[in-house]
Amino acid sequence: MHEFKNFINGEFVTTASGKTFENRNPVDNSLLGLVHEAGQPEVDAAVKAAKAAMQGPWGKMTQAQRIALLDKVANRINERFDEFLDAECKDTGKPHKIASHIDIPRGAANFKAFSETLANHPTEAFKLDTPDGRGALNYGHRTPKGVIAVISPWNLPLLLMTWKVGPALACGNTVVVKPSEETPATATLLGEVMNECGVPKGVYNVVHGFGPDSAGAYLTEHPGVNAITFTGETRTGEIIMRAASVGLRNISLECGGKNPGIVFADCDMDKAIEGTMRSAFVNCGQVCLGTERVYVERPIFDEFVQRLKEGVEKLKLGVPEDPEVDFGPLVSQEHKEKVLSYYRLAVEEGATVVTGGGVPEMGDALNAGAWVEPTIWTGLPDDARVVREEVFGPCCHIRPFDTEEEVIELANDTKYGLSAAIWTENSARASRVAEAMEVGICWVNSWFLRDLRTAFGGAKESGIGREGGVHGLEFYTELKNVCIKL
Ligand code: NAD
Protein backbone atom coordinates (compact mmCIF):
# COMPACT_ATOMS: atom_id res chain seq x y z
CA MET A 1 0.00 0.00 0.00
CA HIS A 2 1.44 3.38 -1.02
CA GLU A 3 1.88 5.83 1.83
CA PHE A 4 1.86 9.62 1.50
CA LYS A 5 3.96 10.94 4.36
CA ASN A 6 4.50 14.42 5.70
CA PHE A 7 7.78 16.05 4.70
CA ILE A 8 9.29 17.85 7.66
CA ASN A 9 12.84 19.12 8.04
CA GLY A 10 13.98 17.16 4.98
CA GLU A 11 12.50 13.85 6.13
CA PHE A 12 9.39 11.87 5.30
CA VAL A 13 7.52 11.23 8.52
CA THR A 14 4.37 9.51 9.74
CA THR A 15 2.37 11.01 12.59
CA ALA A 16 2.34 10.65 16.35
CA SER A 17 -1.39 9.89 16.31
CA GLY A 18 -1.01 7.20 13.64
CA LYS A 19 -4.04 8.72 11.88
CA THR A 20 -4.33 8.14 8.14
CA PHE A 21 -6.96 8.78 5.49
CA GLU A 22 -7.57 7.25 2.09
CA ASN A 23 -6.53 8.74 -1.22
CA ARG A 24 -8.72 7.42 -4.04
CA ASN A 25 -8.45 7.60 -7.81
CA PRO A 26 -11.52 9.43 -9.15
CA VAL A 27 -11.32 7.51 -12.45
CA ASP A 28 -12.57 4.26 -10.89
CA ASN A 29 -12.62 4.97 -7.14
CA SER A 30 -9.72 2.57 -6.57
CA LEU A 31 -7.51 3.10 -3.51
CA LEU A 32 -4.23 4.87 -4.33
CA GLY A 33 -2.81 4.84 -0.84
CA LEU A 34 -3.02 6.10 2.71
CA VAL A 35 -2.17 9.65 3.69
CA HIS A 36 -0.64 10.37 7.10
CA GLU A 37 -2.72 13.13 8.65
CA ALA A 38 -0.59 15.69 10.44
CA GLY A 39 -1.76 16.68 13.90
CA GLN A 40 -0.67 19.60 16.07
CA PRO A 41 2.74 17.98 16.89
CA GLU A 42 3.65 17.59 13.21
CA VAL A 43 2.51 21.11 12.33
CA ASP A 44 4.54 22.43 15.26
CA ALA A 45 7.57 20.49 14.05
CA ALA A 46 7.17 21.75 10.47
CA VAL A 47 6.86 25.40 11.55
CA LYS A 48 9.81 24.99 13.90
CA ALA A 49 11.92 23.48 11.11
CA ALA A 50 10.91 26.27 8.73
CA LYS A 51 11.82 28.88 11.30
CA ALA A 52 15.16 27.25 12.07
CA ALA A 53 15.98 27.04 8.35
CA MET A 54 15.75 30.83 8.12
CA GLN A 55 18.71 30.97 10.53
CA GLY A 56 20.69 28.22 8.76
CA PRO A 57 22.47 28.02 5.38
CA TRP A 58 19.32 29.08 3.53
CA GLY A 59 19.12 32.38 5.37
CA LYS A 60 22.77 33.09 4.55
CA MET A 61 22.56 32.38 0.82
CA THR A 62 22.83 35.18 -1.66
CA GLN A 63 19.89 35.83 -3.95
CA ALA A 64 21.89 34.43 -6.88
CA GLN A 65 22.59 31.20 -4.99
CA ARG A 66 18.93 30.77 -4.11
CA ILE A 67 17.87 31.40 -7.67
CA ALA A 68 20.40 28.86 -8.96
CA LEU A 69 19.04 26.28 -6.51
CA LEU A 70 15.45 26.90 -7.58
CA ASP A 71 16.51 26.60 -11.20
CA LYS A 72 17.80 23.15 -10.31
CA VAL A 73 14.45 22.30 -8.74
CA ALA A 74 12.65 23.33 -11.94
CA ASN A 75 15.00 21.20 -14.03
CA ARG A 76 14.61 18.22 -11.74
CA ILE A 77 10.80 18.40 -11.97
CA ASN A 78 11.23 18.26 -15.74
CA GLU A 79 13.62 15.31 -15.47
CA ARG A 80 11.07 13.47 -13.34
CA PHE A 81 8.22 14.75 -15.55
CA ASP A 82 6.56 11.35 -16.06
CA GLU A 83 6.43 10.62 -12.34
CA PHE A 84 4.85 14.00 -11.62
CA LEU A 85 2.44 13.49 -14.51
CA ASP A 86 1.41 10.06 -13.32
CA ALA A 87 0.98 11.23 -9.71
CA GLU A 88 -1.07 14.29 -10.71
CA CYS A 89 -3.32 12.37 -13.08
CA LYS A 90 -3.96 9.58 -10.58
CA ASP A 91 -4.90 12.08 -7.86
CA THR A 92 -7.15 14.23 -10.05
CA GLY A 93 -8.24 11.93 -12.90
CA LYS A 94 -7.32 14.61 -15.43
CA PRO A 95 -6.13 13.55 -18.89
CA HIS A 96 -2.38 13.29 -19.50
CA LYS A 97 -3.00 15.47 -22.55
CA ILE A 98 -3.90 18.37 -20.23
CA ALA A 99 -1.50 17.81 -17.34
CA SER A 100 1.47 17.32 -19.67
CA HIS A 101 0.77 20.70 -21.28
CA ILE A 102 -0.39 22.73 -18.31
CA ASP A 103 0.10 21.32 -14.81
CA ILE A 104 3.59 19.85 -14.86
CA PRO A 105 5.39 22.33 -17.18
CA ARG A 106 3.89 25.27 -15.26
CA GLY A 107 4.75 23.52 -11.99
CA ALA A 108 8.40 23.57 -13.08
CA ALA A 109 8.25 27.03 -14.68
CA ASN A 110 6.96 28.55 -11.44
CA PHE A 111 10.40 28.00 -9.93
CA LYS A 112 12.05 30.02 -12.72
CA ALA A 113 9.52 32.71 -13.57
CA PHE A 114 10.07 34.75 -10.48
CA SER A 115 13.85 34.77 -10.62
CA GLU A 116 14.00 37.31 -13.41
CA THR A 117 11.58 39.60 -11.64
CA LEU A 118 13.72 39.46 -8.54
CA ALA A 119 16.94 40.01 -10.40
CA ASN A 120 15.61 42.96 -12.40
CA HIS A 121 13.33 44.76 -10.01
CA PRO A 122 14.92 47.94 -8.65
CA THR A 123 14.39 49.14 -5.12
CA GLU A 124 13.21 52.72 -4.67
CA ALA A 125 15.63 55.49 -3.70
CA PHE A 126 15.01 59.13 -2.76
CA LYS A 127 17.49 61.88 -1.95
CA LEU A 128 16.05 64.12 0.77
CA ASP A 129 17.18 67.73 1.17
CA THR A 130 17.94 68.71 4.77
CA PRO A 131 18.46 72.18 6.34
CA ASP A 132 22.18 71.57 6.85
CA GLY A 133 22.53 71.18 3.10
CA ARG A 134 24.04 67.70 3.36
CA GLY A 135 20.88 65.73 2.75
CA ALA A 136 19.85 62.19 3.45
CA LEU A 137 19.61 59.10 1.30
CA ASN A 138 16.55 56.86 1.50
CA TYR A 139 16.46 53.45 -0.08
CA GLY A 140 14.15 50.47 0.07
CA HIS A 141 15.50 47.19 1.31
CA ARG A 142 13.52 43.98 1.02
CA THR A 143 13.81 41.10 3.48
CA PRO A 144 11.93 37.79 3.49
CA LYS A 145 8.75 37.66 5.58
CA GLY A 146 9.81 34.41 7.29
CA VAL A 147 7.68 31.27 7.46
CA ILE A 148 4.95 31.26 4.84
CA ALA A 149 1.97 28.91 5.15
CA VAL A 150 0.79 27.74 1.74
CA ILE A 151 -2.75 26.32 1.63
CA SER A 152 -3.62 24.97 -1.79
CA PRO A 153 -6.60 23.36 -3.56
CA TRP A 154 -7.01 20.21 -5.64
CA ASN A 155 -7.86 21.43 -9.12
CA LEU A 156 -4.33 22.24 -10.34
CA PRO A 157 -2.40 20.87 -7.38
CA LEU A 158 1.25 21.22 -8.42
CA LEU A 159 0.72 24.33 -10.50
CA LEU A 160 -1.13 26.33 -7.86
CA MET A 161 1.09 25.19 -5.02
CA THR A 162 4.36 26.04 -6.82
CA TRP A 163 2.84 29.34 -7.97
CA LYS A 164 3.22 30.29 -4.30
CA VAL A 165 6.22 28.19 -3.24
CA GLY A 166 8.39 29.42 -6.18
CA PRO A 167 8.24 33.14 -5.35
CA ALA A 168 8.16 32.53 -1.59
CA LEU A 169 11.46 30.65 -1.76
CA ALA A 170 12.99 32.96 -4.36
CA CYS A 171 12.46 35.81 -1.90
CA GLY A 172 14.28 33.84 0.80
CA ASN A 173 11.32 32.66 2.89
CA THR A 174 10.70 29.11 4.02
CA VAL A 175 7.36 27.35 3.54
CA VAL A 176 5.01 24.89 5.17
CA VAL A 177 2.60 23.59 2.54
CA LYS A 178 -0.79 22.05 3.28
CA PRO A 179 -1.93 20.54 0.00
CA SER A 180 -5.55 19.59 -0.51
CA GLU A 181 -6.54 16.35 1.17
CA GLU A 182 -7.78 15.21 -2.26
CA THR A 183 -4.39 15.59 -3.94
CA PRO A 184 -1.43 14.86 -1.68
CA ALA A 185 0.87 13.23 -4.25
CA THR A 186 2.81 15.91 -6.14
CA ALA A 187 3.52 18.05 -3.06
CA THR A 188 5.00 14.93 -1.44
CA LEU A 189 7.05 14.07 -4.54
CA LEU A 190 8.40 17.60 -4.56
CA GLY A 191 9.96 16.86 -1.15
CA GLU A 192 12.15 14.23 -2.84
CA VAL A 193 13.15 16.77 -5.49
CA MET A 194 14.09 19.34 -2.85
CA ASN A 195 16.41 16.83 -1.18
CA GLU A 196 17.91 15.73 -4.50
CA CYS A 197 18.69 19.34 -5.39
CA GLY A 198 20.29 20.10 -2.04
CA VAL A 199 17.69 22.56 -0.80
CA PRO A 200 18.53 22.85 2.91
CA LYS A 201 16.32 20.94 5.29
CA GLY A 202 13.37 22.82 6.70
CA VAL A 203 13.05 25.17 3.73
CA TYR A 204 10.19 23.20 2.15
CA ASN A 205 7.83 21.28 4.43
CA VAL A 206 4.57 19.49 3.72
CA VAL A 207 1.85 18.63 6.21
CA HIS A 208 -1.12 16.57 5.08
CA GLY A 209 -4.66 16.74 6.31
CA PHE A 210 -7.97 18.54 6.17
CA GLY A 211 -9.08 22.07 7.09
CA PRO A 212 -11.03 22.42 10.35
CA ASP A 213 -9.58 20.61 13.40
CA SER A 214 -6.79 19.33 11.21
CA ALA A 215 -3.53 20.40 9.57
CA GLY A 216 -5.08 23.37 7.71
CA ALA A 217 -6.43 25.03 10.84
CA TYR A 218 -3.38 24.13 12.97
CA LEU A 219 -1.11 25.69 10.37
CA THR A 220 -3.04 28.89 9.71
CA GLU A 221 -3.57 29.46 13.44
CA HIS A 222 0.08 28.79 14.25
CA PRO A 223 1.77 31.84 15.82
CA GLY A 224 5.09 30.84 14.23
CA VAL A 225 3.68 31.44 10.74
CA ASN A 226 4.46 34.94 9.45
CA ALA A 227 2.13 35.10 6.43
CA ILE A 228 -0.50 32.90 4.79
CA THR A 229 -1.15 32.45 1.11
CA PHE A 230 -4.31 30.57 0.23
CA THR A 231 -6.09 29.39 -2.89
CA GLY A 232 -9.52 27.84 -2.52
CA GLU A 233 -13.12 28.63 -1.76
CA THR A 234 -14.21 32.06 -0.62
CA ARG A 235 -15.82 30.67 2.57
CA THR A 236 -12.51 29.02 3.52
CA GLY A 237 -10.72 32.28 2.73
CA GLU A 238 -12.93 34.04 5.29
CA ILE A 239 -12.00 31.49 7.98
CA ILE A 240 -8.30 31.86 7.15
CA MET A 241 -8.57 35.63 7.25
CA ARG A 242 -9.98 35.37 10.77
CA ALA A 243 -7.10 33.07 11.78
CA ALA A 244 -4.58 35.49 10.27
CA SER A 245 -6.02 38.43 12.19
CA VAL A 246 -4.47 37.02 15.38
CA GLY A 247 -0.98 38.47 15.35
CA LEU A 248 -1.82 40.66 12.32
CA ARG A 249 -0.30 38.24 9.85
CA ASN A 250 -0.40 39.11 6.19
CA ILE A 251 -2.65 37.16 3.81
CA SER A 252 -3.01 36.60 0.11
CA LEU A 253 -6.33 35.03 -0.87
CA GLU A 254 -7.11 33.62 -4.31
CA CYS A 255 -10.69 32.45 -4.10
CA GLY A 256 -13.72 31.38 -6.11
CA GLY A 257 -15.41 32.86 -9.15
CA LYS A 258 -18.55 32.81 -11.26
CA ASN A 259 -16.90 34.16 -14.33
CA PRO A 260 -18.73 35.66 -17.30
CA GLY A 261 -17.95 35.09 -20.96
CA ILE A 262 -19.31 37.85 -23.22
CA VAL A 263 -19.75 37.07 -26.88
CA PHE A 264 -20.57 39.99 -29.17
CA ALA A 265 -22.10 39.49 -32.60
CA ASP A 266 -18.94 41.00 -34.15
CA CYS A 267 -16.71 38.28 -32.70
CA ASP A 268 -14.71 35.76 -34.65
CA MET A 269 -17.15 32.91 -34.06
CA ASP A 270 -14.58 30.11 -34.41
CA LYS A 271 -12.33 31.72 -31.81
CA ALA A 272 -15.25 32.39 -29.47
CA ILE A 273 -16.48 28.81 -29.67
CA GLU A 274 -13.02 27.32 -29.22
CA GLY A 275 -12.25 29.64 -26.29
CA THR A 276 -15.58 29.08 -24.56
CA MET A 277 -15.26 25.33 -25.02
CA ARG A 278 -11.96 25.45 -23.15
CA SER A 279 -13.02 27.98 -20.55
CA ALA A 280 -16.13 26.07 -19.57
CA PHE A 281 -15.02 22.45 -19.93
CA VAL A 282 -11.25 22.01 -19.67
CA ASN A 283 -10.14 20.15 -16.54
CA CYS A 284 -13.76 19.02 -16.25
CA GLY A 285 -14.75 22.62 -15.51
CA GLN A 286 -12.63 22.69 -12.36
CA VAL A 287 -10.73 25.89 -13.09
CA CYS A 288 -11.25 28.97 -10.92
CA LEU A 289 -11.00 31.18 -14.02
CA GLY A 290 -13.53 29.06 -15.94
CA THR A 291 -16.62 30.50 -17.58
CA GLU A 292 -19.90 29.38 -16.01
CA ARG A 293 -22.04 32.26 -17.32
CA VAL A 294 -22.00 32.92 -21.05
CA TYR A 295 -23.77 35.97 -22.49
CA VAL A 296 -24.26 35.96 -26.26
CA GLU A 297 -25.56 38.86 -28.36
CA ARG A 298 -29.00 37.91 -29.62
CA PRO A 299 -28.37 37.78 -33.41
CA ILE A 300 -25.83 34.98 -32.97
CA PHE A 301 -27.36 33.31 -29.90
CA ASP A 302 -28.96 30.28 -31.60
CA GLU A 303 -25.92 29.58 -33.76
CA PHE A 304 -23.56 29.89 -30.76
CA VAL A 305 -25.62 27.52 -28.60
CA GLN A 306 -25.85 24.99 -31.43
CA ARG A 307 -22.13 25.09 -32.16
CA LEU A 308 -21.11 24.86 -28.50
CA LYS A 309 -23.47 21.90 -28.10
CA GLU A 310 -21.85 20.17 -31.10
CA GLY A 311 -18.41 20.82 -29.63
CA VAL A 312 -19.35 19.44 -26.24
CA GLU A 313 -20.92 16.33 -27.72
CA LYS A 314 -17.64 15.58 -29.51
CA LEU A 315 -15.58 15.65 -26.28
CA LYS A 316 -13.99 12.30 -25.64
CA LEU A 317 -14.38 11.08 -22.08
CA GLY A 318 -11.99 8.46 -20.75
CA VAL A 319 -8.96 7.43 -18.74
CA PRO A 320 -6.02 9.84 -18.32
CA GLU A 321 -3.50 7.66 -20.19
CA ASP A 322 -5.52 7.67 -23.44
CA PRO A 323 -3.93 10.37 -25.64
CA GLU A 324 -7.23 11.03 -27.42
CA VAL A 325 -9.11 11.81 -24.21
CA ASP A 326 -10.16 15.44 -23.57
CA PHE A 327 -12.22 15.00 -20.48
CA GLY A 328 -11.79 13.09 -17.22
CA PRO A 329 -13.89 12.63 -14.10
CA LEU A 330 -14.38 15.20 -11.35
CA VAL A 331 -11.88 15.09 -8.52
CA SER A 332 -13.90 13.07 -6.01
CA GLN A 333 -17.19 11.39 -5.20
CA GLU A 334 -18.02 14.24 -2.85
CA HIS A 335 -17.52 16.81 -5.59
CA LYS A 336 -19.56 14.68 -8.00
CA GLU A 337 -22.47 14.79 -5.55
CA LYS A 338 -22.14 18.58 -5.30
CA VAL A 339 -22.06 19.06 -9.09
CA LEU A 340 -24.99 16.67 -9.61
CA SER A 341 -27.00 18.56 -7.00
CA TYR A 342 -26.58 21.67 -9.19
CA TYR A 343 -27.58 19.65 -12.27
CA ARG A 344 -30.84 18.74 -10.50
CA LEU A 345 -31.32 22.27 -9.20
CA ALA A 346 -30.94 23.73 -12.70
CA VAL A 347 -33.91 21.67 -13.88
CA GLU A 348 -35.94 22.65 -10.80
CA GLU A 349 -35.13 26.30 -11.49
CA GLY A 350 -36.50 25.99 -15.01
CA ALA A 351 -33.44 25.41 -17.20
CA THR A 352 -33.59 23.98 -20.69
CA VAL A 353 -30.91 21.29 -20.78
CA VAL A 354 -29.19 21.77 -24.13
CA THR A 355 -26.87 18.83 -23.59
CA GLY A 356 -25.70 16.59 -20.73
CA GLY A 357 -27.19 17.02 -17.29
CA GLY A 358 -26.45 13.58 -15.90
CA VAL A 359 -23.94 10.81 -15.39
CA PRO A 360 -22.36 9.17 -18.47
CA GLU A 361 -22.25 5.41 -18.94
CA MET A 362 -18.53 4.62 -18.73
CA GLY A 363 -18.66 0.81 -18.55
CA ASP A 364 -18.19 -1.56 -15.62
CA ALA A 365 -14.53 -0.73 -15.03
CA LEU A 366 -15.11 3.00 -14.66
CA ASN A 367 -18.71 3.51 -13.53
CA ALA A 368 -17.63 3.78 -9.89
CA GLY A 369 -15.56 6.87 -10.82
CA ALA A 370 -16.60 10.50 -10.34
CA TRP A 371 -17.94 10.99 -13.87
CA VAL A 372 -20.49 13.60 -14.89
CA GLU A 373 -21.61 14.77 -18.30
CA PRO A 374 -20.48 18.12 -19.66
CA THR A 375 -23.61 20.23 -19.54
CA ILE A 376 -25.08 23.34 -21.17
CA TRP A 377 -28.23 25.11 -20.00
CA THR A 378 -30.28 27.98 -21.34
CA GLY A 379 -33.42 29.69 -20.05
CA LEU A 380 -32.58 30.26 -16.40
CA PRO A 381 -33.66 33.49 -14.72
CA ASP A 382 -30.85 35.85 -13.63
CA ASP A 383 -31.57 35.16 -9.97
CA ALA A 384 -31.34 31.35 -10.29
CA ARG A 385 -28.86 29.84 -7.84
CA VAL A 386 -27.21 27.97 -10.71
CA VAL A 387 -26.48 31.33 -12.35
CA ARG A 388 -25.23 32.91 -9.13
CA GLU A 389 -23.27 30.19 -7.30
CA GLU A 390 -19.97 28.63 -8.30
CA VAL A 391 -20.59 25.05 -9.42
CA PHE A 392 -16.95 24.26 -10.27
CA GLY A 393 -18.02 21.58 -12.72
CA PRO A 394 -18.16 21.13 -16.52
CA CYS A 395 -21.18 23.29 -17.15
CA CYS A 396 -22.33 26.70 -18.29
CA HIS A 397 -25.51 28.66 -18.70
CA ILE A 398 -25.96 30.68 -21.91
CA ARG A 399 -28.19 33.75 -22.00
CA PRO A 400 -28.91 36.21 -24.82
CA PHE A 401 -28.37 39.98 -24.48
CA ASP A 402 -29.20 43.00 -26.63
CA THR A 403 -26.93 45.90 -25.68
CA GLU A 404 -23.43 46.55 -24.37
CA GLU A 405 -24.81 48.39 -21.31
CA GLU A 406 -27.10 45.46 -20.50
CA VAL A 407 -24.35 42.85 -20.72
CA ILE A 408 -21.95 44.88 -18.56
CA GLU A 409 -24.60 45.05 -15.89
CA LEU A 410 -25.36 41.33 -16.15
CA ALA A 411 -21.70 40.31 -16.08
CA ASN A 412 -21.00 42.42 -12.98
CA ASP A 413 -24.13 41.29 -11.16
CA THR A 414 -22.27 38.84 -8.93
CA LYS A 415 -20.51 38.86 -5.59
CA TYR A 416 -17.46 37.35 -7.30
CA GLY A 417 -14.85 39.19 -9.37
CA LEU A 418 -12.15 36.85 -10.56
CA SER A 419 -12.07 36.88 -14.36
CA ALA A 420 -14.00 37.65 -17.54
CA ALA A 421 -13.56 36.72 -21.21
CA ILE A 422 -14.76 39.06 -23.95
CA TRP A 423 -15.13 38.03 -27.57
CA THR A 424 -15.29 40.85 -30.14
CA GLU A 425 -13.27 42.07 -33.13
CA ASN A 426 -13.97 45.71 -32.21
CA SER A 427 -10.96 46.80 -30.18
CA ALA A 428 -12.55 50.02 -28.88
CA ARG A 429 -15.46 48.02 -27.53
CA ALA A 430 -13.08 45.41 -26.14
CA SER A 431 -11.19 47.91 -24.05
CA ARG A 432 -14.38 49.76 -23.01
CA VAL A 433 -16.04 46.58 -21.77
CA ALA A 434 -12.84 45.18 -20.24
CA GLU A 435 -12.42 48.36 -18.20
CA ALA A 436 -16.01 48.10 -16.99
CA MET A 437 -15.59 44.52 -15.72
CA GLU A 438 -15.36 44.26 -11.92
CA VAL A 439 -12.69 41.55 -12.02
CA GLY A 440 -9.00 41.02 -11.41
CA ILE A 441 -8.23 39.40 -14.77
CA CYS A 442 -9.91 40.14 -18.09
CA TRP A 443 -9.17 38.35 -21.35
CA VAL A 444 -10.13 39.61 -24.79
CA ASN A 445 -10.32 37.02 -27.57
CA SER A 446 -8.48 34.51 -25.40
CA TRP A 447 -8.75 32.70 -22.12
CA PHE A 448 -6.13 31.48 -19.64
CA LEU A 449 -3.38 33.13 -21.68
CA ARG A 450 -0.96 33.76 -18.85
CA ASP A 451 2.08 35.98 -18.68
CA LEU A 452 3.58 35.14 -15.31
CA ARG A 453 4.88 38.69 -14.88
CA THR A 454 1.35 40.09 -14.68
CA ALA A 455 -0.89 40.59 -11.66
CA PHE A 456 -3.05 37.60 -10.74
CA GLY A 457 -5.90 37.77 -8.27
CA GLY A 458 -9.54 38.60 -7.80
CA ALA A 459 -11.80 41.53 -7.01
CA LYS A 460 -14.83 41.45 -4.69
CA GLU A 461 -15.29 38.05 -3.00
CA SER A 462 -12.76 36.40 -5.31
CA GLY A 463 -9.82 37.36 -3.21
CA ILE A 464 -7.48 39.82 -1.61
CA GLY A 465 -4.14 40.85 -3.03
CA ARG A 466 -2.29 40.08 -6.23
CA GLU A 467 0.44 37.57 -6.89
CA GLY A 468 2.70 37.29 -9.95
CA GLY A 469 5.71 39.35 -11.00
CA VAL A 470 6.45 42.38 -8.84
CA HIS A 471 3.11 41.94 -7.09
CA GLY A 472 4.39 38.72 -5.52
CA LEU A 473 7.34 40.68 -4.26
CA GLU A 474 4.99 42.87 -2.25
CA PHE A 475 3.52 39.87 -0.48
CA TYR A 476 6.58 37.68 -0.02
CA THR A 477 8.92 40.38 1.28
CA GLU A 478 8.93 43.04 3.94
CA LEU A 479 9.92 46.42 2.53
CA LYS A 480 12.06 48.43 4.87
CA ASN A 481 13.10 52.04 4.27
CA VAL A 482 16.70 52.81 5.18
CA CYS A 483 17.37 56.53 5.73
CA ILE A 484 21.04 57.56 5.87
CA LYS A 485 21.85 61.08 6.94
CA LEU A 486 24.76 62.23 4.84
P1 NAD B 1 -11.27 24.61 -0.29
O2 NAD B 1 -11.40 26.00 0.19
O3 NAD B 1 -12.26 23.61 0.14
O4 NAD B 1 -9.85 24.00 0.14
C5 NAD B 1 -8.64 24.64 -0.21
C6 NAD B 1 -7.59 24.27 0.82
O7 NAD B 1 -7.96 24.84 2.08
C8 NAD B 1 -7.45 22.78 1.07
O9 NAD B 1 -6.09 22.47 1.25
C10 NAD B 1 -8.24 22.58 2.34
O11 NAD B 1 -7.85 21.45 3.09
C12 NAD B 1 -7.91 23.86 3.08
N13 NAD B 1 -8.88 24.22 4.12
C14 NAD B 1 -10.21 23.99 4.15
N15 NAD B 1 -10.75 24.50 5.28
C16 NAD B 1 -9.74 25.07 5.99
C17 NAD B 1 -9.65 25.75 7.23
N18 NAD B 1 -10.73 25.94 8.00
N19 NAD B 1 -8.45 26.19 7.63
C20 NAD B 1 -7.35 26.01 6.88
N21 NAD B 1 -7.36 25.36 5.70
C22 NAD B 1 -8.55 24.90 5.24
O23 NAD B 1 -11.18 24.70 -1.88
P24 NAD B 1 -11.09 23.47 -2.90
O25 NAD B 1 -12.42 22.81 -2.94
O26 NAD B 1 -9.88 22.67 -2.63
O27 NAD B 1 -10.82 24.25 -4.28
C28 NAD B 1 -11.83 24.74 -5.10
C29 NAD B 1 -12.04 26.23 -4.88
O30 NAD B 1 -10.81 26.91 -5.08
C31 NAD B 1 -13.01 26.87 -5.84
O32 NAD B 1 -13.82 27.78 -5.14
C33 NAD B 1 -12.13 27.61 -6.82
O34 NAD B 1 -12.73 28.68 -7.48
C35 NAD B 1 -11.03 28.04 -5.93
N36 NAD B 1 -9.81 28.31 -6.70
C37 NAD B 1 -9.40 29.61 -6.83
C38 NAD B 1 -8.27 29.90 -7.58
C39 NAD B 1 -7.78 31.31 -7.75
O40 NAD B 1 -6.65 31.48 -8.18
N41 NAD B 1 -8.55 32.32 -7.45
C42 NAD B 1 -7.57 28.86 -8.19
C43 NAD B 1 -8.03 27.55 -8.03
C44 NAD B 1 -9.15 27.29 -7.27
The whole-number average pLDDT for the span 394-417 is: 98
Distance 406 CA to ligand 1 centre (A): 33
The pLDDT confidence band at residue 112, using thresholds 50, 70 and 90, is very high
Q: Are residues 350 and 328 in the same domain?
A: yes
Pairing state between β 416-417 and 459-460:
antiparallel
Q: Are residues 20 and 154 in the same domain?
A: yes
Q: Is 369 in the pocket of ligand 1 (CB under 6 A)?
A: no
Q: Is 239 in the pocket of ligand 1 (CB under 6 A)?
A: yes
Domain membership of residue 450 (yes or no) is no
Q: Are residues 235 and 115 in the same domain?
A: yes
Query: Which letter, b or e, does each residue of 137-164 get, where b requires 16 or more Cβ atoms within 10 Å of its Cβ?
Result: eeeeebebbbbbbbbbbbbbbbbbbbbb
Domain membership of residue 457 (yes or no) is no
Mutate which of 207, 236, 288, 389 for ligand 1 pocket (most atoms within 8 A of beta carbon): 236
Residue spans of beta strands (DSSP E) within 298-404: 352-355, 375-378, 395-401
Domain membership of residue 449 (yes or no) is no
Query: Which residue, judged by its Cα, is nearest atom 20 of ligand 1?
Result: 216
Distance 152 CA to ligand 1 centre (A): 6
Q: Are residues 294 and 319 in the same domain?
A: yes
The whole-number average pLDDT for the span 436-465 is: 97
Q: Are residues 241 and 288 in the same domain?
A: no
Q: How many Cα atoms within 13 Å fall on the side-chain side of residue 317?
A: 22
The structural domain count of the chain equals 2
Q: Is 210 in the pocket of ligand 1 (CB under 6 A)?
A: yes
Read off the pTM: 0.97
Pairing state between β 250-254 and 463-464:
antiparallel
Q: In angstroms, rounded to a whole number, what is the distance separating the alpha carbons of residues 99 and 426?
A: 34
Chain segment 298-357, per-residue pLDDT in tens: 999 999 999 999 999 999 999 999 999 999 999 999 999 999 999 999 999 999 999 999
Residue 55 DSSP label: H
Q: Catalytic pick from 88, 181, 182, 254?
A: 254
Cβ atoms of 96 and 89 closer than 8 Å: yes
Distance 148 CA to ligand 1 centre (A): 17
Domain membership of residue 367 (yes or no) is yes
pLDDT of residue 284: 98
Instruction: Tell me the one-letter amino acid at 358.
Output: G
The whole-number average pLDDT for the span 147-169 is: 98
208-to-160, 162, 258 alpha-carbon distances in Å: 16, 16, 29
Q: Is 229 in the pocket of ligand 1 (CB under 6 A)?
A: no
Domain membership of residue 455 (yes or no) is no
Q: Are residues 239 and 265 in the same domain?
A: no
Q: Are residues 56 and 133 in the same domain?
A: yes
Residue 390 alpha carbon, nearest atom of ligand 1: 32
Domain membership of residue 251 (yes or no) is yes
Q: Is 326 in the pocket of ligand 1 (CB under 6 A)?
A: no
Q: Are residues 471 and 424 in the same domain?
A: no
CATH of the domain at 83: 3.40.605.10
Q: Are residues 330 and 437 in the same domain?
A: yes
The predicted complex's ipTM stands at: 0.97
Chain segment 380-394, per-residue pLDDT in tens: 999 999 999 999 999
Concerning whether 88 is annotated as a catalytic residue, the answer is no
The whole-number average pLDDT for the span 26-31 is: 98
Pairing state between β 20-24 and 477-485:
unpaired
Residue 372's domain comprises 259-444
Domain membership of residue 456 (yes or no) is no
Q: In angstroms, rounded to a whole number, what is the distance separating the alpha carbons of residues 380 and 397?
A: 8
Q: Are residues 99 and 226 in the same domain?
A: yes
Domain membership of residue 452 (yes or no) is no
Q: Are residues 194 and 292 in the same domain?
A: no
Q: Are residues 440 and 476 in the same domain?
A: no
